[in-house]
Amino acid sequence: MTLGGHGVESTPNNMLEQDNINKPSHVAIIMDGNGRWAEQQGQPRKVGHEEGMEAVRRVTRRASERGIDVLTLYAFSTENWKRPPQEVHFLMQLPIRFFDTFVPELQEKNVKVNMIGFEDKVPTSTKKAISKAMEQTKDNTGMILNFAFNYGGRAEILEATKELCKKVASNELSVDDIDERLFEEHLMTHSIGDYQDVDLLIRSSGEQRLSNFLLWQNAYSEFYFSELLWPEFNGDVLDEALLSYKNRQRRYGAL
């Protein structure tokens, strides 16, 4: 496990450009620290989320430039409903504004939008904005920008299990047919295709926990923790994480 520092200026950018050796295909980020950043600025929490949205733009741009195949961002967890109603409302509105202003650039960069999570409880206007962005970018062949919105890892695994049980009960499947590949076909991340496994998991704000994020998919991922709060995050910090990943040896249990 690595704890990222603040050495943004020291990142050797040229070491990452056009370099496919040890590049993660799937990068997933737990964007943490919006509230603390706002508090430090003496601002309401929503200002932190607003700046967090700018960090999403910066990191999306850099990840796409670096040739990452899938960037999954944890934007709203199934546990985030416990926050005060005004904050939940603000977080639900963010995708509407984000896609309204960012889709033209995503088109230009050939980025395809995807979403994982539960649709229940998400306001119709938010669902519409997300579906519209997915529809507008569906033919893009570059990076997949995958938002985890109203997502929870345990709930995802339970849903997959229920689906499989139903298929066994109706004789569509036998218990012995169930293997990792079939299980993955029933996970929400099936929608991102070949890159369901996370290669590099990044979390900002110095916290070092998984918070119910992609529990199955992170089984063999490398972790990178940054002390920076999410609104401070940028492309150079992503480069630091990519550089750290580049120097890791992944053994998947072998020698």
Query: Residues binding ligand FPP: what is the number (CB under 6 A)?
Result: 18
Which DSSP string do the residues of 162-189 spell out, in sequence order?
A: HHHHHHHHTTSS-GGG--HHHHHHTSGG
- Shorter beta-carbon distance to ligand FPP: residue 34 or 196: 34
Q: Tell me, what DSSP letter sits at residue 67?
A: T
Piece in contact with ligand FPP (CB under 6 A), picked from 19-27, 29-37, 133-141, 173-181? 29-37
Establish if 31 lies at the interface with ligand FPP (CB under 6 A): yes
Tell which positions 147-166 bind ligand FPP, by CB under 6 A. 147
CB of 234 to ligand FPP, least distance (A): 13
Q: Which stretch binds ligand FPP (CB under 6 A): 48-56, 157-165, 215-223, 238-246?
A: 48-56
Q: Which range in 8-16, 92-100, 169-177, 233-241 contacts ligand FPP by CB under 6 A?
A: 92-100
Query: How far is it, in rounded angstroms, from Cα 178 to Cα 106?
Result: 38
Should residue 143 be labelled a site residue for ligand FPP when binding is judged by CB under 6 A?
Answer: no
Question: How many whole angstroms from its chain centre is CA 96?
Answer: 18
Between 196 and 205, name the residue whose CB sits nearer to ligand FPP.
205
Closer by beta carbon to ligand FPP, 94 or else 192: 94
Taking CB under 6 A as the binding criterion, the range among 45-53, 121-129, 161-169, 238-246 that sits at the site for ligand FPP is 45-53
Q: Choose, by CB under 6 A, the member of 4, 24, 95, 153 that binds ligand FPP.
A: 95
Q: DSSP letter at 160?
A: H
Taking CB under 6 A as the criterion, the residue among 56, 92, 192, 241 binding ligand FPP is 56
Contact with ligand FPP (CB under 6 A): which of 16, 28, 29, 53? 53
Terminal-residue alpha carbon distance, the chain: 19
Q: What b/e readout covers 106-122, taking b as 16+ CB neighbours within 10 angstroms?
A: beebebbbbbbbeeeeb
Q: Is 80 a catalytic site residue?
A: yes
Tell me the one-letter amino acid at 198: V
CA 182, CA 202: separation in Å to the nearest integer?
27
Q: Which residues contact 12 (CB under 8 A, 6 or more apart)?
A: 243
Is 32 a known active-site residue?
yes
**Residue 94 contacts ligand FPP per CB under 6 A:** yes
29 burial via Cβ count (<10 Å: 0-12, 13-18, 19+): buried
Beta bridge partners of 27: 71, 200
Active site residues: 32, 80
For ligand FPP, the binding residues (CB under 6 A) are 31-36, 49, 52-53, 56, 75, 80, 91, 94-95, 98, 147, 230
